[in-house]
Amino acid sequence: MRVNVNDEPRDTASPTLEGLLRELGVAEESAVAAAVDGQVVPRSRWSERALAEGCSVVVIRAAQGG
């Protein structure tokens, strides 16, 4: 299925947000937040959050610096 990740089209075989984040290599990072179609999804619900064709996913990584 095709979804948009941070405004970029991406094909995924995963039906869940957690699976997509694993494909992206960020699921294990502690400072990652994700939203689907404008709604923040708590980490505890990533495995439950289904993805649909054309949905919009935003992945945010916290950056440290100063």
The reply to whether 20 falls in a domain is: yes
Contact 12, 19 (CB under 8 A): yes
Give the chain's domain count: 1
Domain limits for position 32: 2-61
Q: What is the CATH number of the domain that holds 54?
A: 3.10.20.30
The reply to whether 49 falls in a domain is: yes
Percent residues over pLDDT 70 in the chain: 95
C-beta neighbour count of 37 within 10 angstroms: 13
Q: Which residue type does 30 have?
A: S
The reply to whether 16 falls in a domain is: yes
For the cut 90, the answer to whether the pLDDT of residue 43 exceeds it is: yes
Residue 20: strand, helix, or coil = helix
| pLDDT band (50, 70, 90) for residue 65 | low
The reply to whether 66 falls in a domain is: no
Q: Is the pTM of this model over 0.75?
A: yes
